[in-house]
Amino acid sequence: MKNKIDRRNFMKVTTAAAGGFAFSQLGMAQSYLNEEKPLRIGFVGVGNRGSYHLDAALGIKGVVVPAICDIKDTPLYRAKKWIEDAGQSTPALYGKTDTDFVRMCEQEDLDVVICSTSWKWHGQVCLAAMNNGKHAVSEVPIILTLDEAWEIVETSEKTGKWATLALEQALIESDYAMAVLNMIQQGVLGDIIHIVGGYVHDLRMVKFNPEEEPWRLQHSVDRNGNLYPDHPMNKMMAMMDINHGDRLDYLVSVSSGAAMLNEYTEQQYGSSHPYATQNMAQGDTNVSLIRTMKGKLITLNFDTNTPHPRGIYRVQGSKGVFIRSRGIGPYIYVDGISPESHQWEDAETWLKEYRHPLVENYNPAARESSIRGHGGRGKVTPLTWHLLAKALREEKMPFFDVYDSVTSSAVSPLSEMSVANKGQSVSFPDFTRGKWEKQPPISFT
């Protein structure tokens, strides 16, 4: 089937990328620069997710962890032990107050700070890092408000440091998503017109873990919108050249009513539990529509409250369409190429043929044991971590730069504004201040 595909778009893309975009120099064919150069990494938040990042980092040659921060002793001392067990010096410990990360950023000599706290601190940790001469990588979302988003952009431009979602796995560590990106960049699906995706994942069990994560459910009590846009946006933005030739123009967002969390509380803990009658702001299902300056359309779903298998990811282009969910597909239909007119075709062959070179060529040695914590990459250094270490050593900003990262997370506050006003249309800020028009599409080749 490959020979039927028009490669002109692909050639245009790669030529442009080779000319202008920093990340295009990070190809796998090059060896590490300064592989032995120490990377000094500090961690803020070493709980479930933060401990995964710590363990992933400890397995990378040259990484040292001089300082860690957590407001809880159990994860803090577990992290300290892991670092010592890895043969490193005992790290400095922070976490006496909620904002002790500021002191860590002021006092420690670090290349980068990895933030895996509860959501409300992400932006503040990034700012403290950059203002003290350190890069920052945050867990999603990187910001909760538009003010924070602008402050991160301006601080990055002022300090020359960056804060991004570089460890977001949704695109880079998904074989299928990378293959679809490759197909798109090679023109298989034509011009991209519409992508449907979202975070549709029944998390009622996870939300009701108030001893472990008391802050998580509180967001559903206080807020109403798309509270978790970054996983799908990471894929969609790359596939639509957002901030790299196009940009998000405006958004509308509508939520259903809120009943599921009360109902779940009653089922699990009885009707006298406070959450059985607590007013919940967050609608059980939320849908946002986003239109780009060049007329592409995104349908972004958010539903962590209702019973379902995971949601659908669907990419409609001018030449064809791809669809996948866990347990559904992957299927593809390419006009004039798929065997039957307007019928789905199994996409596995396509995904194999268009396997992304970055994924294809990443074959690191296995570690002795699986990476601990919440991440699920087994015994292999996650590709995101591999690329982050490489970018730090080459002194370049990794994929999903500061503009991409705040744009992705800005969906949350924008959707909240829209939902609160019956789906009113809200404009996306142009965080790039016009640079989006000249940035070439992302490229990993």
Q: Site residues for a copy of itself, window 337-356 (CB under 8 A)?
A: 342-344
For residue 46, give both structure tokens: 């070493």
Q: Please tell me the count of residues contacting a copy of itself according to CB under 8 A.
A: 58
Whether a cis peptide bond, with omega within 30° of 0, leads into 330 is yes
Whether a cis peptide bond, with omega within 30° of 0, leads into 141 is yes
**Host H or E run for residue 161:** none
Q: Site residues for a copy of itself, window 254-313 (CB under 8 A)?
A: 254-260, 263, 283-285, 287, 289, 291, 294-297, 299, 303, 306-310, 312
Query: Looking at 33, 206, 328, 366, which residue binds a copy of itself (CB under 8 A)?
Result: 328
51 lines the binding site for a copy of itself (CB under 8 A): no
252 lines the binding site for a copy of itself (CB under 8 A): yes
Is residue 407 within 8 Å of residue 248, measured between CB atoms?
Answer: yes
Q: How far is the CB of 321 from a copy of itself (least distance, A)?
A: 4
Q: Comparing C-alpha atoms, which of 200, 125, 172 is closest to residue 404? A: 172
Q: Site residues for a copy of itself, window 384-423 (CB under 8 A)?
A: 421-423
Q: How far is the CB of 107 from a copy of itself (least distance, A)?
A: 46
Q: Report H helices in 41-198.
A: 48-58, 73-85, 100-107, 122-131, 146-159, 175-185
Q: What one-character-per-residue DSSP string does 109-144 give?
A: --SEEEE-S-GGGHHHHHHHHHHTT-EEEEPSPS-S
Identity of the residue, 60 or 321, whose beta carbon is nearer to a copy of itself in the bound complex: 321
> How buried is 203 (Cβ within 10 angstroms: 0-12 exposed, 13-18 middle, 19+ buried)?
middle
333 lines the binding site for a copy of itself (CB under 8 A): yes
316 lines the binding site for a copy of itself (CB under 8 A): yes
d(CA 428, CA 412): 11
Q: Site residues for a copy of itself, window 181-200 (CB under 8 A)?
A: 191, 193-194
d(CA 198, CA 327): 16
Q: Which stretch binds a copy of itself (CB under 8 A): 134-142, 208-216, 327-335, 375-383?
A: 327-335
Query: Looking at 17, 63, 321, 442, which residue binds a copy of itself (CB under 8 A)?
Result: 321
Q: Interface residues with a copy of itself (CB under 8 A)?
A: 191, 193-194, 202, 249-252, 254-260, 263, 283-285, 287, 289, 291, 294-297, 299, 303, 306-310, 312, 314, 316-321, 323, 326-329, 331, 333-335, 342-344, 421-425
